[in-house]
Amino acid sequence: MGGRGRDACHIGGGDQIAGLTYLQESGQLCRGDQVLVVGVGFGWTTALVTVDEVPDWFGPDASSLRVLDAA
């Protein structure tokens, strides 16, 4: 993830998503894993995420997993 948020420290509401993305892209996220996502601001926010399927962001269906520019 280097340079896309990891080196930027706090990136606001995207911190938790950036963390999950890092785990997926670095190969550390596996089917069946449970990940506790924690956010701290004015209060604590938590979510327990269970990985049912790890997306192949570079496979044949990759275009359906990316946000496309609507303009």
Separation in Å, CA 22 to CA 29, 70, 71? 9, 25, 28
pLDDT at 68: 54
More confident position, 51 or 11: 51
| Strands 34-40, 44-50: pairing kind | antiparallel
DSSP string, 7-34: GGS--GGGHHHHHHHHHHHTT---TT-E
Going by pLDDT thresholds of 50, 70 and 90, the confidence category of residue 1 is very low
18-62 pLDDT tens trace:
888 888 888 898 999 999 999 887 888 899 999 998 877 777 766
